[in-house]
Amino acid sequence: MTFQPRMDNKIEGFSVVGGVQRRVWNGIVADVWDVNCAAYAGGYYVSSDPRLFILLDTRGRGQCNVRLSPRAAAMRQGEEQPISYIPAGMEMWADLVDIDFVRHLDIHFSADALSRRLMEDLDPARLANPRLLFSDPRVLALADLIAAECENPEPLHDLYGDGLAVSLLIDVLQLRRAVPRKRSKLAAWQLRRAVDYIEAHCLRSIRLEELAALTNLSQSHFSHAFKASTGIPPHQWQTKARLDRAKQLLAGGTPLTDVAVETGFSDQAHFTRVFRKNTGTTPASWKKSQFV
């Protein structure tokens, strides 16, 4: 489903020139607006999703003031091109006096879609914190490239504009790479108890809750701590224990079909597949190699 932000406004004194230039990417909508302004123009805007307002060009000797409510103190645009980040559901009021023309880029984005793409949760406090009338040369450079792509009669591959827009959002929201959490290991007694239990019962299905109960941990905590201690998850350790038992039987001359049954595999074909996957050779070849 295409991302479609809902935008409400109550404005006066603006006249759009030539229609909006729009591009839609994965959870992102970018609009370029060319607008003629009356001697006074203004009103308020509110969007269902977070958005960026980036002034690309302006003509006139006047000023633009913005505020977050009709009675809030106004913030005045400086000499540099202003950028504003407005959280979802937050009103932004603007008053433009003696400004003849404005060209701006609006970027609306789905916070959920951005979170999925970055494969990490976005900080709700960061998303809820407005940033009004700041300037940043890197953001403005990206904004110019995005605006040019919105107006390109022969658009480049979607990955181009999409990548620019995601880069801009990462910069504005100051999203940094999450530091992986270091998983704690099992205590020596916990690891020995779990390993001994797995090896003693490896020929049957062992439930994770059994192992967790042995170590007085939750199933999730035990699973992560076991892998941190051994490098592999519990079920792979059990497979290893089964195959070690199978090798003992093979070396002792037990027929292949009997080995498969005695080590808990459903049949000889299943045993062969698992053995080859974990050792790189078939049980028959491995057995032969032991007597060379």
pTM of the model: 0.62
pLDDT score of 181: 63
pLDDT score of 119: 79
pLDDT score of 256: 85
Query: Confidence class of residue 193 from pLDDT cuts 50, 70 and 90?
Result: very high
pLDDT at 1 over 60: no
Residue 183's contacts (CB-CB under 8 Å, 6 or more residues apart) are 224, 225, 227, 228
pLDDT score of 233: 93
> For residues 51 and 80, is the Cβ–Cβ distance under 8 A?
no
| Enclosing H/E stretch for 29 | strand 28-47
Instruction: State the average pLDDT over residues 54-61.
Output: 92
pLDDT in tens, 222-247: 999 999 999 999 999 999 999 999 99
Question: Does the 188-289 domain belong in CATH 3.40.605.10?
Answer: no
Overall size of the chain counted in residues: 292
CATH of 7-173, one of 2.60.40.730, 3.40.50.1980, 2.30.30.790, 2.60.120.10: 2.60.120.10
Query: Confidence class of residue 180 from pLDDT cuts 50, 70 and 90?
Result: low
And the tokens for 25? 């990417």
Where is average pLDDT lowest: 74-83, 141-150, 161-170?
Answer: 74-83
pLDDT score of 240: 92
And the tokens for 7? 């935008």
Distance from C-alpha of 140 to C-alpha of 138, rounded to nearest angstrom:
5
pLDDT at 291 over 80: no
DSSP-derived 3-state class of residue 95: strand
pLDDT score of 288: 84
Query: 27: left (phi > 0), else alpha (psi -120 to 50), else beta?
Result: left
pLDDT score of 268: 87
> For residues 37 and 96, is the Cβ–Cβ distance under 8 A?
yes
Between these two residues, 10 and 69, which has the higher pLDDT value? 10
Distance from C-alpha of 58 to C-alpha of 155, rounded to nearest angstrom:
26
Distance from C-alpha of 50 to C-alpha of 73, rounded to nearest angstrom:
22
Q: Which of 49, 58, 62, 114 is nearest to 82 (CA)?
A: 58
Share of the chain above pLDDT 70, in %: 97
Q: Which of 243, 47, 52 is nearest to 165 (CA)?
A: 52
Q: Which of 196, 200, 146 is nearest to 172 (CA)?
A: 146
pLDDT in tens, 206-220: 999 999 999 998 888
pLDDT in tens, 70-84: 777 778 776 677 899
Alpha helices in the chain (DSSP H): 111-118, 124-128, 137-151, 158-173, 188-200, 208-215, 219-230, 234-251, 256-262, 268-279, 283-289
> For residues 75 and 120, is the Cβ–Cβ distance under 8 A?
no
Mean pLDDT of the chain: 90
Query: Confidence class of residue 89 from pLDDT cuts 50, 70 and 90?
Result: very high
Residue spans of the domains in the chain: they are 7-173, 188-289
And the tokens for 290? 């032991």
Between these two residues, 191 and 268, which has the higher pLDDT value? 191
pLDDT in tens, 251-273: 888 888 888 888 888 888 888 99
> For residues 8 and 71, is the Cβ–Cβ distance under 8 A?
no
Instruction: State the average pLDDT over residues 143-160.
Output: 96
